[in-house]
Amino acid sequence: MNDNLNRTARTVGVLYLVSNATFLIGAMVILEPYLSAADYLVQVSANSTQVILGALLEIINGVAYIGIAVLMFPILRQRFESMALGYVAFRIIEFVTQIAASVVPLLLVTLSEESVRAGAPGSQAVGELLLATRYWSYEMLYLVFCLSALMFYYMLYQTRLIPRFISVWGLIGATLVLANTVLEIFAIDLGTSIGMITGLPMLLNELFLGVWLIVKGFSPDAEIYDSAEASAKQA
């Protein structure tokens, strides 16, 4: 395994940690308490700096997983050109939906300031529409994320770039998130607790994968070429 691949592995590992940290802090820790409050317009107006920071962290999350896809594409395309291209395409779609979701808090900052300052009529209705836009953007994001993750971990499993138990763990985690997302799309809500439980394996997997790639890198016996290409290179 050459030095370039090892550098790529470490960079991808760092991006995985950055992606998850910015999402958890931006979306869950900062934004969720304000956007889920009954008086969310008042809360957003009073905490506009934090809301803007949370939205920016979400966007950094999106940039990080685009970076992962760009770095992994040249490696994965050696055996799975079409699937690797599909993986990158899904990541781009995921980024677009992330932007759509992250713009909402920024729009709410402007709306809330107008509402608090001038009592703008219809602010509540517009706010509810924006929150609905964010909700559905995230549902689509999770759906596309799961599809891209299933493709990604399948390719990792086949190439043995990482130990197969990590790939299987990722496939199971993505399937659980996908199932929960599909149920939510069709208005079958299993509750916040179940949603968190189904998402936990995927979160832990990505954190573990990030640390693994930083510390261990890609497996030295990875099979990144198909059998014909591998024979040609050995020859």
Backbone angles phi, psi at 119, to 5 degrees: 60, 45
Q: What is the pLDDT of residue 114?
A: 81
Contact assessment for residue 26 and residue 57, using Cβ atoms and an 8 Å cutoff: yes
How far apart are alpha carbons 31 and 67 in whole angstroms? 24
With a CB cutoff of 8 Å and minimum separation 6, the contacts of 194 are 180
Structure tokens at 155: 């390719």
**C-alpha count within 13 angstroms, C-beta hemisphere, residue 118:** 8
* Burial state string for 156-178 with b = 16 or more CB within 10 A and e = fewer than 16: bbbbbbbeeebbebbbebbbbbb
Which residue type sits at 112? S
Residue corresponding to tokens 């930083």: 214
- How far is residue 173's CA from residue 186's CA, in Å, rounded to a whole number? 20
Give the pLDDT of residue 231.
41
**Distance of alpha carbon 90 from alpha carbon 95, whole angstroms:** 9
First-to-last C-alpha distance (Å) of the chain: 18
- pLDDT score for 74: 95
Buried b or exposed e, range 50-65, using 16+ CB within 10 angstroms? bbebbbbbbbbbbebb
Residues of the chain with confidence (pLDDT) below 50 = 227-235
Q: Give whole-number Cα distances, 33 to 38, 44, 181, in Å.
A: 10, 10, 21
Residues 6+ apart with CB under 8 A from 126: 111
Q: Which pLDDT tens digit goes with each residue over 130-185?
A: 999 999 999 999 999 999 999 999 999 999 999 999 999 999 999 999 999 999 99
Residue 228 one-letter amino acid:
A
Instruction: Quote the pLDDT of residue 123.
Output: 86
> Residue with structure tokens 């759906």?
143
Query: What pLDDT score was predicted for residue 173?
Result: 97
